[in-house]
Chains A and B, each alone.
Chain A
Amino acid sequence: MTIRSLFFGKPGGRGSRSLAQSIALYGALIVFALWILLPVWYLVVSSLITPQQLGSRSFSFFPSSITFDNYLSVLTGSTGGAGFGSTDVGARLLPAIGQSFFVSAVLVVLNLLVAGSAAYALSRYPFPGSRQFELAVIATRVVPAIAIIGPFFVAFRVIGVLNSPWALIISYNVFTLPLAIMILKNYFDQMPREIEEAAKIDGAGRLLTLWIIILPIAKPGLVAAGVLIFLEAWSEFFYSLVLTNQLTVPPLLAGFQSVQQFNWNALAAATVMSMLPPVLLVMIFQRNVVGSLTAGVGK
């Protein structure tokens, strides 16, 4: 059985892998890469071909010719009617990406602070009722978000934040806060307690211990949770649709689907552009995660 080594070649054990084990490992990696990349590749190719190329049967994963017209038409509407033909989408796509970025980033900071301290407390300093609070966290995550949008709209009207990023930053806590608490509580539970015990004996206060000792060690978990919050916010469609006028990316992309006109190629181009920022950002942080994790494992 070569699969066993695939999953259990221990970290740092590359040298001890047999040829068969390597083949199995890289075979599995190819399957993994195809699972992820084929739909993405389809998206990218769609954005680089004309509707005619798309329409001629048998989709070609390696088109004979490519065009940037779809990108041009999304950004400038300059393809003379053949493309989506709306300059406005181009004018709105970049600001929408910016708004999505702003909403997601602010939410990450806010959630890491609020959820981080709550999760740490639940893990290290349980209090009477903390178990119930934990259950409540899970219970609140099951509330169907689309059902409670009405009260939000009314509340936001009253405080005057409708159609602003703040409407989304506040309401997205519905999805992200319980999630962040659950994830981070888990993470803190996994971290060895000995370090804190040592700090305690040294006489450091709780906040100081948290700030100086725990935070640096917990960085990978915090980054992972931050990425998670960011992408949850980036992905949200319905609240943004109802509470703002296409402020973020998903409702803008949904706007491409109208009964009167639909062009998959242009939508693909817009989608590719809108996916670049989160993918790039996450890749940058992913390096950090990998870096700090390997450091931890290597000791």
Chain B
Amino acid sequence: MTTSYSNGSLVRDDAWFGFKMSSVAAFMMAALLVIPSALTVIYSLHNVPANGSSFGEFVGFRNYEIIFTSSVFWRSVWVTLVFSVGFVVLSTVIGFAMALLLNQNFFGRGVARALLIIPWATPWLVIGILWKWYADGSVGGLNALLVGLGLTSEYKNFLADPNTALFIAIIAAVWRQASFAGILLLAGLQTLPSELYEAAELDGANWLQRLQNVTIPWLRPVLITVTVLNIIYAFLQFDVIFAMTQGGPGDATQVLSVLIYRQLFVVTQIGLGSALAVVLGVAALIGGLVTVKLLYRGESAT
């Protein structure tokens, strides 16, 4: 298991070692993601026959033209944006709060941390079905709860109203994703040396200053990873909405992934669906990269 090396070539050796260690992952990702993605891009430039017998006629950017001139698309972009912003902000903030809370010492902490796992162990699709029933206007638990607490006076059909339907879809998805963020952030908090706190405390820093000057800087890499992932999950979210509303009522929850599903699998317009997928992927990539840029700027600043 030992590797012998001379001091002179240590740095180059290290790089070679790093390269070898990464190569399996790199190969797998090339095979599993790069090739199919390249195919998707090629499809998006063709009028692909539904039966997949060939690429079909090359149409250049015609598919993109159809997309960008369609009001259905722009309406869906808006819904995707609203969904994503709500999803990312709420998941990250709630997850962060839960991580801070569960990092405390208290009786029953193990149980509380186990609770955090439950939403995360629930498949997205099941969450969609579960929240559809939970938020139901007549047999749902949410209404019984709200009326019981005196917060509302009568039962409301949350999923029938376009605004509340989108809101419930966001909350349902956040229910799972906040736990995901919470667990990652909690793991990050565990690595925070307690000396840093003590030093800050001795300096007379209050909780807000400590949050700003100790916790957030320490968590910055995790926090940004979590945010990047949340952005990607937001853009690509499909299962919850599919199970809950199938994009309805009307087009109230018709995010781009629902449109892609429809074009690729229901009406099998492969070229158009692939172009939509490319647009969505690029949008998610831009969202992710901008966040990563923030990460590196933050790192070089410190």
> A residues within 8 Å of B by Cβ?
1, 3-14, 25-26, 28-29, 32-33, 35-43, 45-46, 54-55, 57-61, 114-115, 117-118, 120-122, 124-128, 130, 133, 135-148, 150-152, 154, 170-171, 173-174, 177-179, 181-183, 186-187, 189-191, 204-208, 211, 220-221, 224, 227-228, 231, 234-238, 249-250, 253-254, 257, 264, 267-268, 271, 274-275, 278-279, 282-283, 286-287, 289-290, 293, 296-297
* A and B contact pairs by CB, cutoff 8 A, 16 listed: A7-B207, A12-B194, A13-B105, A14-B106, A37-B118, A54-B139, A55-B139, A114-B25, A127-B22, A133-B22, A139-B288, A147-B40, A151-B39, A173-B32, A235-B125, A290-B110
Complex contacts, B243 vs chain A, CB 8 Å: 254, 257
Question: Could you tell me the distance between the alpha carbons of A186 and B238 in the complex, rounded to whole angstroms?
Answer: 27
Within the complex, the shortest CB–CB distance from B11 to chain A, in Å, comes to 10
Known A138-B228, A249-B123; contact A125-B21, beta-carbon cutoff 8 A? yes
Contacts of B129-165 to chain A: CB distance below 8 A: 129-131, 133-134, 138-141, 143-145, 147, 155
Query: How far, in Å, is B55 (CB) from chain A's closest CB?
Result: 12
Which B residues between 181 and 232 are near A, CB-CB below 8 angstroms?
183-184, 187-188, 190-191, 194, 197-198, 201, 206-208, 210-211, 221-222, 225, 228-229, 232
Q: Which of A14, A59, A250 has its CB near the most chain B CB atoms (within 10 A)?
A: A59
Instruction: Report the nearest A residue to B120, measured CB to CB.
Output: A231
How would you classify the secondary structure of chain A's contact residues: helix, strand, loop or mixed? helix
Q: How far is the CB of A292 from chain B (nearest CB, A)?
A: 9
A37 engages B115 (CB within 8 Å): yes
B175 in the interface (beta carbon within 8 A):
yes
Which segment of B62-70, B71-79, B95-103 sits at the interface? B95-103
Instruction: For residue A152, give the distance in angstroms from its CB to the closest CB of chain B.
Output: 7
Q: Nearest CB to that of A271 among chain B residues? A: B126
Return A139 CB to nearest CB of chain B, in Å.
6
Q: Which residues of A contact B52 (CB under 8 A)?
A: 150, 154
Number of B positions contacting A (CB below 8 A): 113
Q: Which residue of A lies closest to B221 (CB)?
A: A186
Given A147-B273, A275-B121: A267 touches B18 (CB 8 Å cut-off): no
Bound Cα distance from A120 to B4, whole angstroms: 20
A253 is contacted by which of B113, B120, B125, B140 (Cβ under 8 Å)? B125
